[in-house]
Each structure stands twice: as structure tokens, then as C-alpha cells.
């Protein structure tokens, strides 16, 4: 029995309509129909949810019958593809963030002078960098990072925000007065909050997207 037929059989045996199953699984009725007609395949997370909802073992859904091995091959291929794309997307986002961060510091030190430098640092710290931090965090959140990766990214955003202030405005003050000071640790939670805001928006968008599938 093919995977679509097994999914349909499990649903009908529990007495659920496609609409009821879709609501319970957080997808659209059309998605359920496409799975059962094998126009598309469910991801592994949806299969686990169906196993619980339909009270049927994963072994029965995935391995029994002729279509099991084909679907397992699909899951393996799609998982590898998603992981590769996710890694590439994360790398591109982090590289773009670091490039903008570094370019802003270079502009501050080599292309601005006097009051222009102070004005640029304020615009950079209060407008440009916060906006970039939120946007990059939002896009990272859309990549489905795990909890540890998300916390690391939030902390990293806080550290980079703290260093941005230290390498521009703070460093200029230290050079002007000939003193050496440590970074202002109060800037770290501010940057982390901005990064957390981006991830929070991403979580809401991910949830909304799942309900529209």
C-alpha cells in the first residue's frame, strides 16, 4: 500500500474528515488531500503528528507495503536538501551582517571627520544597526534554527551591538581623551533584545504560515 493510501485509511478509520484532520495538524484541507492523493508528500514532523492523531505506529505508516521504501528515500533526500539550503542561507545572512557591520566601522574611521563621525555613529547605532539586527534575526528565525542556535544568535547579536558602540563612538572618545575603557556591558542586552525581537517576529510568521498551508 502506498503512503497516501495508508494515510487516508488511518484517517477514515478514526472517523475524522479531512477538515478535522487539517485543523488538528495545523495545515489546510487541500494539503491533506494532496498527501492522500500523493500529489505531495508530508514532511517527517507531519507524519509524527499523524501517527499520534490517527493512533497508528510510525512503523506501519512508513515501512509496511510497497510504497514505504520510496517515501523513506524521499524523506532522506528532502532532509539533506533542506539542511544544505538552510546552512547556505544562514551563512549568507551572517556574512551579509558582518559585512555591513565592518563596512560601517570602516566608514566611521576613514570617511568621516569630527562632528560628522559622531553624527554617523549615532545614526549607525540607533537606526542602521538596530534595523539590520532585527531583519537578519528575522530571516535566521525563518530558517528553523533549534533552541541552542537561536539563543546563540541572540547572544551574538548582543555582543556585536556592544562591540559596534565600542569600536566607533566609545573608541573615538578614548582616542580624544587618551584613556582606555572597557566595553559598556549595558549595550549587550539592548542588542540581544533587538535580535530577540527579530526571532519573535519570525516565530509568529512561521506559525501563521503553517496555518495557511
* Domains of the chain, earliest start first: 3-66 (1.10.260.40), 85-212 (no CATH)
pLDDT at 87: 85
Residues of the chain with pLDDT under 50: 1, 67
- Judge contact between 33 and 61, C-beta under 8 A: no
Distances from the Cα of 99 to the Cαs of 74, 92, 125, 197, 200, in angstroms? Answer: 37, 10, 16, 22, 24
pLDDT at 67: 46
Question: What does DSSP assign to residue 167?
Answer: I
Q: Which residue shows C-alpha cell 539586527? A: 133
pLDDT at 72: 62
pTM for this predicted structure: 0.65
pLDDT at 10: 92
Amino acid at each position: 500500500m502506498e503512503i497516501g493510501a495508508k494515510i487516508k485509511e488511518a484517517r477514515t478509520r478514526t472517523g475524522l474528515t479531512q477538515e478535522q484532520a487539517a485543523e488538528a495538524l495545523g495545515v489546510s484541507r487541500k494539503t491533506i488531500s494532496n498527501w492522500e492523493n500523493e500529489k505531495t508528500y508530508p514532511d517527517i514532523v507531519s507524519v509524527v503528528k499523524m501517527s499520534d492523531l490517527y493512533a497508528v505506529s510510525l512503523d506501519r505508516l512508513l515501512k509496511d507495503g510497497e510504497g514505504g521504501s520510496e517515501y523513506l528515500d524521499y524523506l532522506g533526500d528532502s532532509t539533506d536538501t533542506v539542511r544544505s539550503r538552510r546552512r547556505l542561507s544562514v551563512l549568507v545572512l551572517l556574512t551579509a551582517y558582518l559585512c555591513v557591520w565592518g563596512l560601517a566601522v570602516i566608514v566611521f574611521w576613514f570617511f568621516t571627520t569630527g562632528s560628522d563621525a559622531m553624527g554617523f555613529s549615532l545614526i549607525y547605532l540607533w537606526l542602521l544597526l538596530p534595523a539590520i539586527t532585527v531583519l537578519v534575526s528575522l530571516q535566521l528565525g525563518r530558517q528553523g534554527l533549534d533552541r541552542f542556535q537561536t539563543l546563540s544568535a541572540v547572544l551574538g547579536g548582543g555582543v556585536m551591538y556592544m562591540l559596534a558602540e565600542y569600536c566607533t563612538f566609545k573608541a573615538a572618545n578614548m582616542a580624544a581623551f587618551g584613556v582606555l575603557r572597557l566595553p559598556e556591558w549595558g549595550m549587550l542586552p539592548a542588542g540581544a533584545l533587538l535580535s530577540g525581537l527579530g526571532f519573535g517576529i519570525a516565530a509568529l510568521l512561521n506559525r501563521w504560515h503553517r496555518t495557511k498551508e
